[in-house]
Amino acid sequence: MKLREIHPILICVDIQLGFLDEDYWGGNRNNKNAEEICAEVLNNWRDIGEEVIHVRHSSKNPNSKLHKSSKGYNFNPLCDPIHDEIVLTKSVNSCFIGTDLKKILDGKNCNTVVIIGLTTDHCVSTTTRMAANYGYDTFLISDATATFNKVGINEETYDSELMHQTALASLKDEFAIIISSKEFFKIF
């Protein structure tokens, strides 16, 4: 079965300008061209006429790069919503909490979601896990996401690429089909 026959919906998670400030998030961002890949996925998705839902993070912390008073709150222009694409705003890691995402997906009889965006080990991971737990067939496009270095409980630094790969490994098969953008569009 071709993927487009099941009418999946693309969920764009937190593709916002604030994530361009590497130092703020821990530095050493992996996959520095994630937004360009997200844009390619998004444009191809639009070309085949499937639906898109954009979700942005609105931090409650007024000093955050993702606070509504910051320029970082804005969508990255590469992935701006267009026309009548749905835009939701959340203030926690999951796109399902505090939004109408599940209601919208169910109202459209959607059973398959495709997830792209930022960051791999936070909002992308949480949204992917919840999508699977809600019973949606879930695809995560591995090169259309990225993360930053993280500091562990003993103050050790974990490299961003390790964090990215570990997050994907934790989601693989149990919560989502992990697939590259090139592999994904071969399905069509």
**Chain segment 121-152, per-residue pLDDT in tens:** 999 999 999 999 999 999 999 999 999 999 99
- Residue 50 identity (one-letter amino acid): E
Residue 20, Cβ density class (10 Å: 0-12 exposed, 13-18 middle, ≥19 buried): middle
Instruction: Check: CB of residue 76 under 8 Å from CB of residue 35.
Output: yes
Beta pairing class for 157-158 and 150-151: antiparallel
* Count of domains forming the chain: 1
Is the pLDDT score of 25 beyond 50? yes
What's the DSSP call for residue 70?
A: S
- 2 pLDDT tier (thresholds 50, 70, 90): low
Q: What is the pTM of this model?
A: 0.96
Domain that holds residue 152: 3-186
- Edge-to-edge strand ranges of the sheet holding 137-146: 86-90, 51-57, 9-13, 112-118, 137-146, 177-179
Residue 161 sits in a domain whose CATH number is 3.40.50.850
